[in-house]
Structure 1
Amino acid sequence: MATFLYKLGRLAFRRRWRVLLTWLALLAIAAIAAFSASAPTSSSFSIPGTEAQRAFDLLDQRFPGSSSDGATARVVFKAPAGEKITEAGNKAEVKKIADEIRAGSSQVESVNDPYTSGGVARNGTTAYLSVSYKVGSEALTDATRTALEEAGADAKSQGMAVEIGGDALQVAPETGSGEIVGVAIAAVVLVITFGSLIAAGLPLLTALLGVGVGISGITALATVLDLGSTTSILAMMIGLAVGIDYALFIVSRYRAELAEGREREEAAGRAVGTAGSAVVFAGLTVVIALSGLAVVNLPMLTKMGLAAAATVVIAVLIALTLTPAMLGFVGKRVFGRKARAAMANADAQALAGVRTPEAKPNMGTRWARFVLRRPVAVLLVGVLGLGAVAVPAASLELGLPDDGSQPVSTTQRKAYDLLSDGFGPGFNGPLMLVVDGQADNNAKAAALGISATVKKMDDVVTVLDPVLNKAGDTATVTVIPKDRPSSVRTEELVHDIRSAASKARAENGAEVYVSGATAMNIDFSQRMNDALLPYLALVVGLAFLLLMLVFRSVLVPLKAALGFLLSVVAALGAVVAVFQWGWLGGLLGVEQTGPIMSMMPIFMVGVVFGLAMDYEVFLVTRMREAYVHGERPGEAIVTGFRHGARVVSAAAVIMIAVFAGFIGASDAMIKMIGFGLAVAVFFDAFVVRMAVVPAVMALLGRRAWWLPRWLDRALPNVDVEGEQLRKRLGDDAEGTGDFRGPDGGPGSERELVRV
């Protein structure tokens, strides 16, 4: 592996113009394809294998045209104080608004009359009309949205409340300016880390180009592959973070090789052969974690994971090819002026036989030595601290957002509350029973039977009369629960109805399915819960094998996996505290607390696991490299931190900044994922990898690198630490063959360039 990447790095360095033009051509092709493609829409939502999905599929077959992909809106009216919505003046105003909406756009398909369709509350103060559109919400024109928003302006001025719910006003999620701030912070961190604007700009430039290719490709294929509008945002979030980090590690290693006296092309080859090997395996762990989301068997989540994984693959390829090519353009300007002057001065003194005074140990060296002196204390503080943060995770409640989770200032939330007040909390989440009586054509009898049973249940307000299809073999029954859609009582009601349906099937042979948006959300949450453990087993198992190849050890991959579990549970605890309990919610722009999005835990597990293994690979590979070249276990830990702690810390700060930039997004899911990933990276990089990992390895000593002989012979040698490469290039056993300081570290000229 290292030898192949070494050759690739040198080739890219020599053929830098060809490499650059190839990537620019790919970007241009992807951008043209994206510009020519239709705009991405919300992907179709389905949960294969669930009862709610079977009901929807049956409705498509037996009630042709009943399900539409068009947008919908509910315009809710509440009469002025002391009046009824059924009074002549208010009634005329409602009908006037309906006519305005109908005439306001050619995209309107139908507008019902609340006075003839049962859209008036029993207390007579509230009514609603339903609007159906010919196209989805993303395809609605600004003129159509404006007509809908302004339809009730006159009525509002006369004291009538007019609010709008549904998805017609839903717009594609916006990330705001947060990601720009994140990139700006990343730029500052890179400048501080490298002391050179050119060196700082390289990771940003290559990462942005890679993200441009990936996002353009996703946009071009969005309609063909039915990718949701949030897919590109999530792919950008992950691709940008890993793209900067991967280029950062290669540039840093290139600077180190130059400081050791290598020629530029040789330095580029060695940087890609060593740091590039870590990039490949770190990228593989991320790809495994994201692709593994397919085990959930949820098309939307699978597509999101694969799209993000594709962006990570592009980031790896960019780092291995374009980064060394760009290094060929900048030459030694990858160092700042002061560093170049210091290097020239050191070279002159070396030629004159003057020995340069040794520089002080850097922060990574001092921290590693501190941990080696107090491993038990550091381990206990790290584990107990993360355990305390993880406590709120025990109160995790899962659900899917609806208009009831919108901020109270929005018209969608106001419409939701008006419907709850006028028709009852359960009106916003009706259940639909689908009765399949095809076998004996007994749909009507079965529907009446299940309706009578459901009416007797405590948590039911109303059961509407069955509606039969033209063939008479299928019926639908609408049930209005007492409680709100996301409540525990409503979930229990769904299970009770399904139990009653099983008994009905045994009695008359008719199939009865419970569906509707509320039942779909319940089935979705259950699917997420059921898939979490198998997903963890698959991802952790595959990554364990991969890390065993990298580190030639059993205990190091095991420690990495356990450390990941600790950091991800702590991150979930922080998410619950903020988004469910409301702690610091105002500071982070969380206007409405509620259940955590059902897909959040499993998605965060996948992404965080991949990113956590990044830092494990980058940091511990340096330790492994030092160990196989003859250093004692404790010395290897110090060497790993001397070379890697500064860069890993910078990479973590960059990734945190990028993820935190998405907290300002308008979409609740993007906001939650941005926060969750930011705190997870913080916990994993600065607590687990920087404190828990060296403490555990200090306690294990040589046992950390133990591998049974039979397993050592069975596993292929991928040479991530570059041992075979060093032998091929004729390096000595020490690994560099150059001067080392009294503490076994690099000589002063290398310290002067701060690598």
Structure 2
Amino acid sequence: MKGNIAARVGMWSARHRRTAIIGWLLFVALTAGIGGAVGTVNMSTSEMGAGDSARADRILEDAGLDRPAGELVLVAAGREGGWRQAAAELADVVERTGAVADIPPPVPSADGREALVSLEITGDADTAPDRVGPVLDAVRAVDRRHEDIELHQFGSASSQKWVNDLLADDLLKAELTAVPLALGILLVAFGAVVAALLPVGLALTACLAAFGALSLISHQLALSPTTNSVMFLMGLAVGVDYCLFYLRRERDERAAGRDADTALRIAAATSGRAVLVSGVTVMVAMAGMFLSGLMLFEGFAVATITVVLIAMTGSVTVLPALLASLGDRVEAGRIPFLGRPRGKRANAPARSGRESGAVAGAVLRPVLARPRLFAALGAVVLLALAAPATGMRTEQLGWQKQFGADNRIAVAHERITDAFPGGPEPARAVVRADDIDAAPVRDALAGFDKDDVTVHPRHNIAEIEIKLAGDGTGQRSVDALTKLRTKTLPAAFDTTGAEVRVTGELARSVDFNEQLQDGIVPVFVFITAVTFLLMLFCFRSYVIAVTSIVLNLLSVGAAYGVMVAVFQHGWGASLLATEKVGAVQSWLPLFVLVVLFGLSMDYHVFVVSRIREARDRGATTRDAIREGVCRTAGAVTGAAAIMVAVFAVFGTLSMQDMKQMGVGLGVAVLLDATVVRMVLLPSVMALLGERNWHTPRALRRLPAPGSH
């Protein structure tokens, strides 16, 4: 174990347990405290986007021309002109809040039964969601006083406040649901309260430290509001898994009759090393998101890398220190009916672990007896699940699809759009010229309605608000946007020499999707290449490296297929308490690809490392496969159950993209721990035989991995 970093770190922590434990607690407290004090910086509009729309937003931001947060209130009456009294009262009540600028006269609809009141929240648009509360209260008060009138409010500040509040509630719900679920699964796996609390405690402290670290990092790289949810999902899953692997191996060695010091040393050298390899693989895979060209994914990459690094570090440092400090007390708090039969050694493995090994042995017997058949069956199952992915359709989900057609914000958006097409989300052309008052530019601007044109002569910038045909999100609106960008604006400003960019909600969505399509290829090439190199270095076998990539791709394909089947086609959506939305959220395919490539390494490294140990002791390949899979079955089953449970919780949250992420990842992990690890991996390795361990000539002179 001389060259094994995990073993050296683990044994140092065991010998200096007080230092390791206090150091960890201080690190968590300081990081979380400082991060909470400095706060988090969220992305600006231009940083969230890509392409033409992002450049347009950046022009306005650089010039300090961020528009005030706009709000629209639809006053709907059952008869022509019936909105007038309510609209006048609304203007009076809202103005008294002091939160809005002067309110222009209401704009009636074509049939005169509705009117649109435009509001502008004073102050910085970025902080408007924090100050829009009184305006929302005023609108609700007027709505309650008029039974025959309906008021519907939609705008950048009110919608962002609603989303922020929803994300906070959902994250709290995830924490309050996922943590007890993980603890319950660990109680079943270990049969003891203390043993179950260790992984959960370390995972939560790792997430807490990561929250603080992300707040500090956000001052250099601004983050999306959804980043914390993604970080918590990853942190809880990998944090619990890493500790579970480590703790399970230590208990197995104690059950084999080894003393506490020897058992801990072996666990550090084997499972500790597997945790390091898995953690590094996950972090490197996540780094692939930096190649996407989108700052949203850069934030996801930083968040996941940060929490995995902290969780991995805690698993190989403070966990050995805690195990050394607790000794046999790690078995304290035995659960009735989950404990071991009387007469068994106190440190013997939990019954669930033995049962998992017995089940794994029963499954493996036919698999290893007829590996060709089961390899084909496993591949057919995953390919069949992946088949719907060939028709995947992605889009930036609009309000109705993201939150449901009955949602208050979605209803307001739909009512305003129906009465005033293009009203809530018009396109905005940004014109920048050397001299905005030059005759050619002035003549071009004159071709648009003067009420839609705002000129900023000091900055040589003009803005043109252009209503798009359709509902502002559908194909008709996309076609109108394309025509605007490729024909209308180029024709209008062809001779002016001005720079013309188009932004707006739809333009940002279209540009974001195009950048995703361009970015997924370099990300895919990066993570497959890096996974191959890491597996090659870890196991000194290009066959295992290639097998790892192929199995991962099958898992990813199956996850894509399930997401398309459930959310795009609606197959089985009601069984999962969700609904058909006709598309997959645009950022999810790339995110799921990267996350699954990383998380699959958890099981793969853990199982193959144990198979390699048995083979290095002289076992035949098939005997090594049987021993490795059976001995890791309990840990893999528990880890998979925890991950599936955590992801399933996210599948119950309010936002459609969280539902899709939770279902996609949950199904993929379930398949990975069952079909892939129990059927495909052993059958393929059995077919390959000794070829599994072929070491490339260039690696033969390197020292053997320090895990065996």
Q: How far apart are the structure 2 equivalents of 1:434 and 1:706? A: 60
Provide the residue aligned with 1:53 in structure 2.
54
Number of residues paired by the alignment?
A: 682
Match of 2:89 among 85, 93, 96: 96
1:236-275 alignment, distance < 5 Å: 236-275=232-271
**Does the CA-based 8 Å contact 2:396-2:509 persist in structure 1?**
yes
Provide the residue aligned with 1:146 in structure 2.
137
Q: Deviations over 1:367-407 (max 9, x none)?
A: 22221112222222222222222233233222223334332
Q: How far apart are the structure 2 equivalents of 1:313 and 1:60? A: 35
Q: Which moved more, 1:235-244 or 1:437-446?
A: 437-446
Q: How far apart are the structure 2 equivalents of 1:137 and 1:266? A: 60
Provide the residue aligned with 1:65 in structure 2.
65
**Does the CA-based 8 Å contact 1:255-1:334 persist in structure 2?**
no
Letter in 2 for 1:58: I
TM-score of the pair, normalised by structure 1: 0.84
Query: Are positions 1:421 and 2:418 aligned together?
Result: yes
- DSSP 3-state at the match of 2:57: helix
Match of 2:538 among 544, 547, 550: 550
Q: Deviations over 1:572-608 (max 9, x none)?
A: 2222233333334444443672432211111111111
Provide the residue aligned with 1:478 in structure 2.
465
Letter in 2 for 1:618: F
User: In 2 relative to 1, CA 100–553 (structure 1 residues): closer, same or farther, beyond 3 Å?
Assistant: same
Cα distance, 1:320 vs. partner? 0.2
Provide the residue aligned with 2:389 in structure 1.
393
Cα distance, 1:66 vs. partner? 4.2
Match of 1:582 among 547, 563, 570: 570
Q: Deviations over 1:291-330 (max 9, x none)?
A: 2211112222211220221011000011001111111132
Q: How far apart are the structure 2 equivalents of 1:182 and 1:359? A: 25
User: In 2 relative to 1, CA 61–444 (structure 1 residues): closer, same or farther, beyond 3 Å?
Assistant: farther
Q: Deviations over 1:698-732 (max 9, x none)?
A: 1111112223223433xx44615x23xxxxxxxxx
Query: Are positions 1:14 and 2:15 aligned together?
Result: yes
Match of 2:369 among 370, 373, 377: 373
Q: How far apart are the structure 2 equivalents of 1:542 and 1:128? A: 55
Letter in 2 for 1:162: L
Q: Deviations over 1:229-253 (max 9, x none)?
A: 3222211110110000000011111
User: In 2 relative to 1, CA 125–682 (structure 1 residues): closer, same or farther, beyond 3 Å?
Assistant: same
Q: How far apart are the structure 1 equivalents of 2:56 and 2:660? A: 31
Q: Deviations over 1:63-105 (max 9, x none)?
A: x43434xx4432112122xx12xx3x6323202112212223x
Cα distance, 1:186 vs. partner? 2.2
Letter in 2 for 1:679: V
- DSSP 3-state at the match of 2:47: coil
Cα distance, 1:212 vs. partner? 1.9
Q: How far apart are the structure 1 equivalents of 2:357 and 2:459? A: 83
**Does the CA-based 8 Å contact 1:31-1:213 persist in structure 2?**
yes
User: In 2 relative to 1, CA 186–262 (structure 1 residues): closer, same or farther, beyond 3 Å?
Assistant: same
- DSSP 3-state at the match of 1:468: strand
- DSSP 3-state at the match of 2:345: helix
User: In 2 relative to 1, CA 313–572 (structure 1 residues): closer, same or farther, beyond 3 Å?
Assistant: same
Letter in 2 for 1:364: A
User: In 2 relative to 1, CA 526–293 (structure 1 residues): closer, same or farther, beyond 3 Å?
Assistant: same
Cα distance, 1:6 vs. partner? 1.7
Match of 1:307 among 282, 303, 307: 303
Letter in 2 for 1:235: M
Provide the residue aligned with 2:5 in structure 1.
4
Provide the residue aligned with 1:499 in structure 2.
486
Letter in 2 for 1:520: R
**Does the CA-based 8 Å contact 1:111-1:130 persist in structure 2?**
no
Provide the residue aligned with 1:514 in structure 2.
502
- DSSP 3-state at the match of 2:67: coil
Cα distance, 1:192 vs. partner? 2.5
Q: Which moved more, 1:52-61 or 1:607-616?
A: 52-61
Q: How far apart are the structure 1 equivalents of 2:145 and 2:131? A: 24
Query: Are positions 1:187 and 2:183 aligned together?
Result: yes
**Does the CA-based 8 Å contact 1:444-1:472 persist in structure 2?**
no
Cα distance, 1:471 vs. partner? 5.2
User: In 2 relative to 1, CA 57–35 (structure 1 residues): closer, same or farther, beyond 3 Å?
Assistant: closer
User: In 2 relative to 1, CA 701–486 (structure 1 residues): closer, same or farther, beyond 3 Å?
Assistant: farther
Provide the residue aligned with 2:351 in structure 1.
none
Q: Deviations over 1:396-442 (max 9, x none)?
A: 22222333433232221222221232123x44432222333427933
Q: Which moved more, 1:221-230 or 1:306-315?
A: 221-230
Q: How far apart are the structure 2 equivalents of 1:361 and 1:231? A: 38
User: In 2 relative to 1, CA 59–143 (structure 1 residues): closer, same or farther, beyond 3 Å?
Assistant: closer
For structure 2, the 5+ residue unaligned runs are 349-353
Q: Deviations over 1:537-596 (max 9, x none)?
A: 011111210111111111211111111111112212222233333334444443672432
Query: Are positions 1:664 and 2:666 aligned together?
Result: no
Provide the residue aligned with 1:407 in structure 2.
404
Q: How far apart are the structure 1 equivalents of 2:296 and 2:77? A: 41
Q: How far apart are the structure 2 equivalents of 1:387 and 1:361? A: 28
Match of 1:629 among 614, 617, 631: 617
**Does the CA-based 8 Å contact 2:50-2:511 persist in structure 1?**
no
Letter in 1 for 2:152: E
Q: How far apart are the structure 2 equivalents of 1:508 and 1:359? A: 77
Cα distance, 1:445 vs. partner? 2.9
Q: How far apart are the structure 1 equivalents of 2:263 and 2:512? A: 52
Q: How far apart are the structure 2 equivalents of 1:114 and 1:585? A: 46
Letter in 2 for 1:415: A
Q: Deviations over 1:29-87 (max 9, x none)?
A: 2332244334665664525761111222223456x43434xx4432112122xx12xx3
**Does the CA-based 8 Å contact 2:568-2:582 persist in structure 1?**
yes
Cα distance, 1:642 vs. partner? 1.8
Q: How far apart are the structure 2 equivalents of 1:345 and 1:653? A: 23
- DSSP 3-state at the match of 1:177: helix
Q: Which moved more, 1:436-445 or 1:462-471?
A: 462-471
**Does the CA-based 8 Å contact 2:418-2:471 persist in structure 1?**
no
Provide the residue aligned with 2:195 in structure 1.
199
Q: Which moved more, 1:400-409 or 1:159-168?
A: 400-409
Q: Which moved more, 1:667-676 or 1:267-276?
A: 667-676
- DSSP 3-state at the match of 2:429: strand
**Does the CA-based 8 Å contact 1:626-1:639 persist in structure 2?**
yes
- Percent of counterpart pairs with the same letter? 29
TM-score of the pair, normalised by structure 2: 0.89
